[in-house]
Amino acid sequence: MFRTLIIVAAAVLVFLIIKNRLNGKNLQRQNTQSTKTDIMVKCQCCDTYIPRKEAIISGTNNFCCPQHERDWEKDHSNSD
């Protein structure tokens, strides 16, 4: 009787271990599908939001195009 209990317990344990391993594989597969999110930055000149990788970054300022960078620099440079 006692030996039967041990065999049943061992069988349940093995079943749980296999089940956990299968679940672990599924979780790993889900983790590899990472969501790509672009960080949006605002153009200092026209307040348009653009992805940071497409923005023109000048110091702490971001611009949507070289023209707006030049316009903004012109308006904010050495006006004294």
Q: Residue 45 Cβ, how far from Zn ion at the closest point, in Å?
A: 4
CA distances from 78 to 72, 73, 74, 75 (A): 12, 9, 9, 9
Stretch that binds Zn ion, among 1-9, 24-32, 38-46, 54-62 (CB under 5 A): 38-46
Of 41, 43, 55, 61, which one interacts with Zn ion (CB under 5 A)?
43
Number of residues that bind Zn ion (CB under 5 A): 5
d(CA 25, CA 61): 44
Please classify residue 69 by burial: count the beta carbons closer than 10 Å to its beta carbon, then call 0-12 exposed, 13-18 middle and 19+ buried: buried
Scanning 3-11, 18-26, 32-40, 58-66 for contacts with Zn ion by CB under 5 A, the matching segment is 58-66
Residues that bind Zn ion (CB under 5 A): 43, 45-46, 64, 68
